Structure 1
Amino acid sequence: MRRWPVWLRWGWTLAVLVAALLAFDSAQVLSRLGRLSASGLIAVLALALLQVVLSAGRWRYTARLLGLPLPWSEAVREYFLASFINQVMPGGVLGDANRALRHGRSTQQSLSALNAVLIERLAGQIVLAGLAILAWWWLMPGDVVARMMEGLQLPGWSLVLAAVMIGLLVACLWSRLAFAIRSFLSALHFALLRPRVLLVQLGVSLPIILCYVGVFLILARDLGMSMPVSLLIPGALALLLAMVLPITVAGWGVRESVAGILWGLMGYSPADGLALSVAYGLVFLVASAPGLVWLWPIRRAVA
């Protein structure tokens, strides 16, 4: 199957984003965004930069468990570079693939370097999913959940179809990538699933996710939103999960569409959710800008 060219995937992303803005009162979204303050932006940018440094530390810890050298300065540099690439290139994973490739070349252990990146990202996704489940279970009021379930009624056959598609995907990947998968599973046990290591990985990943959630909370207050924290936290975690889908550039469009729908289902203005989502995307785009410092010498070397 041919990949979509970059310009077409950017066009798709913009189309989804514009559709979300038009569907959920773009004028109100822009009005909300105009309320952002300098102090609020400084605070969220600090959190966004902090999570990059913490994530680099998680990657370094994982790599060292797999016997790969990774100095602090290199980990931070490569993570900023990866963050910038993820923000501007389709799919949201090309930056991670690049840092795995570059680390593999420098250590001459490409497969182990790839496993380190995969495991490091997986640790974060495990904590994100766990926090999302806990937040929706403990914080979300029962009447809000009931109202959302009424608006999201799915036929039973759709769940069966989803299970079959996932099964076929797993079978296809196993048949084509059996050796790499076995190597990954071995590395996964050593660098994540051992009890003591798992505690460290989850303990490092928790403050990273809290940085993301903190950005949402600060932005929501700066935008003048009245939604209580008991709804904001589950909502923010749901948006973070939605961004995992690699179908647009940096989650743009998907995140905004989910925000508009989710805020409406929770009984609040969809435009509020959309404004919060757009502000979040802009913050992390700006926070990834230090990656440009290291991208420039790479481009010159290639030229």
Structure 2
Amino acid sequence: MSAVSPVSEGIAEGTPIAAEQQRGRRPIRLALRIGVGIAILVATALVVGLGPFLRGIAAISPFPVLAALVLAVIATVAAAWRWRTVATGYGLTLRGRAAFAAYYRSQFLNAVLPAGVLGDVHRAWAHGRDQGGLGIAARAVAVERILGQTVQLVLTLVILLPLGLGSPLAPLVRGAGAIVVAVVVMTAAAALLPRLRRLLRQEYALLRPVLARPAALISIIASSVVVVSSHVALFIVASLAVGLPFGGGLLAVGLVVLAASAVPLNVGGWGPREAVAGAACAFVGLGASAGVAASAAFGALALIGVLPGAVVLLVERRRTR
């Protein structure tokens, strides 16, 4: 999800034809994302077979399920806190209970719908409808996700880079470094284009009041660290459930897998996550099949953890009726 979508740009600039063209392209982009996610998942299954996927699902037991539910509550509280901090910084009204319920609902929709971002789109739309300002509500959701992923990337580097290039985790360290270089290059390239540079300045001007407050900045960073820690802890629980040994390697693999989960080329979260998990576990000597099994268990547990979002969705539908 980007800070400003092409559709929003077209509407803001008063170009309905351009906006209509962008709306027509969205189904194509969504289909491409789903197709790429399916292709990655099929390729992973062809390499390791279906056994690791079945092994991961079969490893689900009461204790991992309980851990998934508890960790999901912790992560959702922290993420809702982060969203509320950003939204109020933009001048929007968002109560804590409403943010918690809406975030649970969006996580559930992200988990069961393709592309992994449609729940966030619905969250922005619902909040914008309540506030009478869809554009600013969408911007708040987009910025909240971007800031969270930025903190996640920095935290991943802070943990992985000290491991050094001479350790068995060196491929993961180099991969994290490559991601940073790619982000820096893309940002620099965007800054060279006048239109994008103007948009970046506009977004920064709107975001500056949010980040200028030390309390808000600390809140965003702290809540993001809690979210990342909860998700990585769930991956470790899933890894232990499929029989992987506990160790520092699981923490590093979990951070890399979590980064892959944020790639919007998936089908309900499945796709790049399993491929990266298999490659990461192979790099640290745990085996690609074990990594895919751990990722499959992680995906199933993550879905179980956000099932309360389905309850929120049903309650809201009943109230609407």
Q: Scaled by the length of structure 2, what TM-score is found?
A: 0.78
Q: Which residue of 1 aligns with 2:48?
A: 24
SS at match of 1:225: coil
Give the direction of change, closer, same or farther, for the CA distance of 1:31–1:249 in structure 2 (3 Å limit): closer
User: 1:46 & 1:2 partners in 2: Cα distance?
Assistant: 36
Counterpart Cα distance in 2 of 1:73 and 1:161: 38
Give the number of aligned pairs: 295
Runs of 5+ unmatched residues, structure 2: 1-24
Contact 1:259–1:277 (CA under 8 A) maintained in structure 2: yes
- Paired residue for 1:44? 68
Kindly state the Cα deviation for residue 138 of structure 1 after the two structures are TM-superposed. Answer: 2.9
**Superposed, which structure 2 residues align to 1:279-294 within 5 Å?**
279-294=297-312
SS state of the match for residue 21, structure 1? Answer: helix
Cα offsets for 1:194-213 (capped at 9, x unmatched): 43421221112211111101
Whole-angstrom CA distance in 1 between matches of 2:132 and 2:313:
22
User: Of 120, 125, 147, which residue of structure 2 is paired with 1:101?
Assistant: 125
C-alpha distance in 2 between matches for 1:176 and 1:135: 32
Counterpart mapping for 1:157-236 below 5 A: 175=195, 178=198, 181-226=200-245, 228=247, 230-236=248-254
For 1:201-242, what per-residue CA distance to the aligned partner results, in whole angstroms no more than 9, with x for missing partners?
A: 1112211111101101122222210252x1111111111111
Q: Does 2:133 align with 1:128?
A: no
Rounded to whole Å, the distance in 1 between the matches of 2:139 and 2:189 is 23
Q: How many angstroms does 1:17 deviate by?
A: 1.6
RMSD: 3.4
Q: Which has the higher contact order (CA 8 A, sep 6+)?
A: 1
Q: Secondary structure at the match of 2:226?
A: helix
Counterparts in 2 of 1:170 and 1:258: CA distance versus 1, 3 Å: farther
Percent of pairs with identical residues:
31
The 5 Å alignment of 1:220-299 reads 220-226=239-245, 228=247, 230-296=248-314
Distance in 1 separating the partners of 2:67 and 2:164: 27
Distance of aligned partners of 1:281 and 1:177 in 2 relative to their CA distance in 1, 3 Å threshold: farther
- Shift in Å at residue 146 of structure 1? 4.4
Q: Which amino acid aligns with 1:275?
A: A
1:260·1:270 contact (CA, 8 Å) conserved in 2? yes
Judge conservation of contact 2:278–2:289 (CA < 8 Å) in 1: yes
Inter-partner Cα distance in structure 2 for 1:129 and 1:65: 23
CA deviation profile, 1:6-50 (whole Å, cap 9, x unmatched): 677555533422321231243244335433321122112220232
Specify the SS of the correspondent of 1:142: coil
Q: CA separation of 1:148/1:116 partners in 2, compared to 1, >3 Å: closer, same or farther?
A: closer
Q: Give unpaired runs (5+ residues) of structure 1.
A: none
User: For residues 312 and 66 of structure 2, what CA distance do their matches in structure 1 show?
Assistant: 23
CA contact (8 A) 2:110 2:117 kept: yes
1:162 to 1:102, Cα distance in 2 relative to 1, 3 A: closer
Cα distance change, pair 175–7 in 1 and its aligned pair in 2 (3 A): closer
User: In 2, Cα distance between the equivalents of 1:149 and 1:119?
Assistant: 27
